[in-house]
Every structure is written in structure tokens, then in C-alpha cells.
Structure 1
Amino acid sequence: MITLGPVSSVFPETSCAVPELTELAELPAERRAHALALGVDTVRCAEGAGEELTVAAAEQALRRAGLAADQLDALLLVGGRAPRYLMASEATRLQHRLGAERAFVAGVGELGCASISAAFTLAAGLLRGDAHCGTVLIVAAAAAPTRFRYRAPMTVLGDGAGAVLLSTAKTGRYQLVDHLVRSDGKYSDLFRIDYRDLPHRDWREECADEATYSFRLAVESRKRLSSMNSELLDRNGLRLHDVGPVLMQNLSAGAFSFWAEALQTRIDPACRHNLAAYGHLGSLDVLVNLEAAAAHRTPGDYTLLLNSSPVAAWSSTLLRRLPDREYEGIEL
């Protein structure tokens, strides 16, 4: 059995109210109105301290698990989309700062918000395929890649960092029951930043075709996730009503309404709460939502965790809540 947890999340102290973001004054009126209608009240702003947050999140997860860094078998970093340096290794730098000398280390990316889902796949493969691997720490960073936090026509970006331990020991909040990840390269550069010949201040994340994002990709995503959910649940002898409210990433209040109708299910209230408080956190969204929802799930309950990105990539993860007694003696 593979367990997932503890989960940790760390956020900057600086909180920015969305209506007060200076960039909104630069937007046309209809764009500004859209940004203010997404359901995001505040975002956290790291102001260059992203690496410190990442280290803090990893250390917090290890402390909660009662595990020393040099006991880790593997460390996977889901990095930000704009690394500080080209050619350098953020993953091995994190390894060094933690003191995880004996861990296998890798960076996982290229799938946008769903990169953490790919990290789940890699972690599960290591735990199932390597008899010497019993603990994998996944660390995810979230930092706006440009000075513009409004990602039109999708969401508002916040900063933070998180980590989760996957293990063969029965020490987590959830059992990782089953997991699927799919992708489609037709949308590989739908969102992009042209950066090579521009100073950082002028970087801007742009959608190459908003109609494709809003309609074609939305239809594709609905088909993909519906099919993946059916496949995942069927092969585990379950139906959608067996898993309760679905957890997913946080983009906008409108997106939650779309997915509730498209998938004919309920979206866990934790998602809306965290969207309002933190905005969109990329790969970190699903960890923050999963931990927030854990308090309301009964041991034995199944949870369906959905993730997607405009790359495009989609994931569906089936989890089962474990008893809290397995956390006795651990600081939460």
C-alpha cells in the first residue's frame, strides 16, 4: 500500500487584495471586471522569497512525518515555470539545503499545473518498483512567473510552496488507490511567455488563442476527465456517488460551476475557500485542497482528486482516507 501524507503548505506573510493589484489599472475595463469576478479575494506575494518557502515546506513535511532528510529515499521537485537560472539544478540545490544526500533526486515539470500529478506517477513507480525505496518527498513551488498576476482569461496567481510524503509505511492521511495522467500536445504552447529578447519586467504570460482555451479545450477537458474518471472508478468497482465531493485545482468560481455541471458532481467547499484566500497556486492547489478537506472526511471514505492544465494535461486520482490515529505524536 502507498500512503500520501503528511501534507505541508507554507505561504508568504504578505497578502495582496486583488482589487488593489496595481496591474489592474493597466487593463481594459472588461478585463478588470473579469479579474474581479473570478472569486479570488486575496493572493500571497513571495517578493523573491520563493526558494525559502520551498525549503520551509519540505522541512515542515519531514518534521510532521518524523523523518530526517538523510533518511529520504527520493526527492522530487515540481519547480516553478520560470527558474532563477538556466542550466542550473533547482532540484539538487533543494537536496543540498535539506541535507538529503542519499536521496534519488529529479525535477518534474512540463505539464503545468498537472506536473504534480506526474510526480505522483513517478513516486508511485519508485515505491512499487524499487524494493529499496520506501519514502518519496514531493515538493511543489508556486510563484507568479511575471509581475502580472492576472492570467487572462483564466485566474489570478498567488505564491506559496507545499510538500507531501508518499510512502510504503502506513503513516499518511490517504491511501493512493489508483491514478491516471493523460496529455495532448495540440495545446502545448496555448499559454506562453516570450522571454528571450525581453527584460524580466516586460515578461507577460499570454494565451495564444482565447477561443481555443474557452471552448475547444473546455470541451476536450470535459470529455477527457469524464472518461478518465469512469475508467478509474470502474476498475476499482466504484461509482461517482461513492466518492463524495470532488477535489480539484482552483481557477475561478465559474470553473467550479462548470465542472460540477459537466461531471454531475459536487465540488468540495474547500476549493472555493482556498481560491478566495490564495488564488491559483499551480500544482500546489491540489495539496492545499486535499489537506483542508481531510478534516471532513471519515476513515474509509474515497476521494477523487482531479487536476488539469492548459498544456494540456489531465489527471484523476483515487484516494482513501486513513484513520487519524496514524498521525498520533506528529505535529499537525
Structure 2
Amino acid sequence: MNEPVLLGPVATWFPDPIAEVATLAELTELPANRREHALALGIDTVRTAEGMTEVDLAAEAARVALEEAALAAADLDALILVTGRAPQYLLASEATRLQHRIGAIRAFTTAAGDLGCVSVSAALTLAAGLVRADAHCRNVLVVTAAKTPTRHRYRAPMTLLGDGAAALLVTTDGPARWEFVDQIVRSEGKYADLFRIDYRDIGSDDWVEECASESTYSFRLAVESKKRFDAIIPELLHRNGIPDSAIGPILMQNLSAGAFAFWEEALDRPVDKACRSNLAAYGHLGSMDMLLNLEAAAPTRATGEYALLLNSSPVAAWSAALLRRL
């Protein structure tokens, strides 16, 4: 019988500068309807990393996680970096830069990315697979960082971006908040470049996040996402013998207050209050949202209670994860 896969406390790290969304200069450049939308997302403040890179942010969160776990970086068996969408350099390795920065000298090191916000779900599947399959791999550090890739934080017609980082130890022993029970990840390539940044031959100051078709995002992808969750949630629960009634409020990524309302109606499930609180305080943090919300919700879940984490991306990709509170 396989040993249980355990998830330690989530370590988060945020840069000090806090920006009030209502005072962001970029909002004054938007058409009135866009500005009204940005101010109605349910986001009050965001953290701003200014001159820091994603690896800078990731290293800070990784160090906090290792300190809280009383584990030396040199004792890590594996390190997985959830990469952002705009690396500092082409051809260079963000994952091994982080490895060197924190001193994880013997860790198997790799990156998970290319699924947008669902990249963290792919990283957790990989981490769980490593500790289940390799008797010599007892602890894996999953690290994700969020840094706005352009000078614009407002991502029309979806959300507003903040900066920060999170790290989570996946292990077979040691301090743990949750047992990682199971996860399903699905993707659909026809939406692969629905959101994109044209960067070739363009200076980074002029990069713009573009949605190829807002109607496709707002309607077709929304319908597709509901169909996906309607299929994978029952599959996940059924194959683990968990009744639907055993699941409390769901945890989701933080896009907007409107998105939470849509999913509560579409799935007939309440969204955990931690999601709305973190949305208001930090904005959308990409892959980091799921880890931030998981940690914030932990104190409200009783021992033995299950948590359902739903994650999606306009790439498009979807995931449903089942965790048990320890």
C-alpha cells in the first residue's frame, strides 16, 4: 500500500508595496466601461514587486517554507518551479536558477508550466507521483511566483493582477496540513492562444496581454468549463468513494467577485470565504491562488474533512483536486 502524500503548510511571501486599485494610474487610461469593470472586480489592493523577478519572489517563499519545515535546502529530494508566462531570459533555466539561489544542491529540479493557472495543479500531480513512485524521494518543494508580465495589471475582460509567491512541501512525513488524495487535470488545445502576448520584435514596455476573442472567453469557454467540471468532479469523487455530501465549500482561483457568483450558481456549490478575502487583498495571482486559498481555509476545516479544489485557465485547462484535512 502506498504511503500517503502529505502537504505541509503553505508559505507565502509578498513584496511590501501595496497599491490601492482605485488609484492605479493605468485605470485612467482605460475607456469608462473598462475602468468601471476593473473597479467592480472585488479587488481592493494588490502587492507590487517592482524590480524583483519571479525567481526573486520564489526564492523568498521557498526559504520561508524550508524554515517552517525545519528542513535544509540541501536535503530536498526534488524542487519543482511553477514557471510564469514571461521568463527573465529565453533559453535560460528559471528552475535551476532557483535551485542555485536557495542551495538545493542535490534536488531533482524541473519546472511545470504552459497550462496557465492550472500549472500548479500539474506540479502537484508531478510531486505526488515522485514521492509515490521513488523510495528515495521523500520531500518535494513546489514553488510558484506571480509577477505581472506587462506594465498593465488589468487583464480584460477577466481580472486584475497582483504579485507574490508561495511554496509548499509535498512529503511522506513531517509537518502536514492535508493529505493529497487524488487529482484530475484536463486540457483543450483549441484555446491554446486565446490569451497571449506578442513579444517578438517588441520592447517589453510595449507588451500587452490580448484576448483573441472576448466572446469566446466569456461564453464558449465558460460553457466548456462548466461541462468539464460537471464531468470531472463526479469522476474524482466516485473513484475515491467520497460522497458529494462530504465536500464543504469549494476552493477556486481568484479572478473576480462575478466569477465566484457564476460558479456558485453553475455548480450549485458555495465558494469558501477565504477566496473572496484573498481576492480583495491580493488580486489574481495566477497559479499561486490555489495555494494561498488552501492555507487560508485550513483553520476552518475539521480533521478528516475533505476539500475540493477547482482550478481553470483560459489556455484552456481544468483541474479538480481532493484533499483531506489532517
Structure 2: 5+ residue runs without aligned partners?
A: none
User: 1:184-263 alignment to 2 at 5 Å?
Assistant: 184-263=188-267
Amino acid at match of 1:287: L
Deviations 1:101-136 (A, max 9, x none): 110000110000000000011111111111111100
Q: Is the deviation greater in 166-175 or in 260-269? A: 166-175
RMSD: 0.8
2: CA distance, partners of 1:96 / 1:225: 39
| SS of match in other structure, 1:6 | coil
Q: Is the 8 A contact 2:301 2:325 kept in 1?
A: yes
Q: Is the 8 A contact 1:69 1:98 kept in 2?
A: yes
Which one of 34, 47, 50 corresponds to residue 47 of structure 1? Answer: 50
CA shift, 1:5, in A, is: 1.3
2: CA distance, partners of 1:47 / 1:95: 23
2: CA distance, partners of 1:280 / 1:34: 15
Q: Is the 8 A contact 1:74 1:133 kept in 2?
A: yes
User: 1:98-137 alignment to 2 at 5 Å?
Assistant: 98-137=102-141
Amino acid at match of 1:295: P
Which one of 97, 101, 104 corresponds to residue 93 of structure 1? Answer: 97
CA shift, 1:239, in A, is: 2.7
**TM-score computed with the length of structure 1 as normaliser:** 0.96
Equivalent position of 2:88 in the other structure: 84
| SS of match in other structure, 1:299 | coil
1: CA distance, partners of 2:83 / 2:236: 28
Deviations 1:55-77 (A, max 9, x none): 11001111111111011000000
> May I ask how many residue pairs the two structures share in their alignment?
322
Q: Is the 8 A contact 1:240 1:265 kept in 2?
A: no
User: 1:46-65 alignment to 2 at 5 Å?
Assistant: 46-50=49-53, 51-65=55-69
Q: Is the 8 A contact 1:71 1:102 kept in 2?
A: yes
Structure 2 residue 292 is matched with structure 1 residue 288: yes
Amino acid at match of 2:200: R
Equivalent position of 1:330 in the other structure: none
Amino acid at match of 2:169: L
Which one of 158, 163, 178 corresponds to residue 159 of structure 1? Answer: 163
- Give % identity: 65
CA shift, 1:170, in A, is: 5.0
Q: Is the 8 A contact 1:79 1:107 kept in 2?
A: yes
CA shift, 1:52, in A, is: 2.6
**TM-score computed with the length of structure 2 as normaliser:** 0.97
| SS of match in other structure, 2:308 | strand
2: CA distance, partners of 1:216 / 1:91: 35
Deviations 1:218-239 (A, max 9, x none): 0000110121110001112223
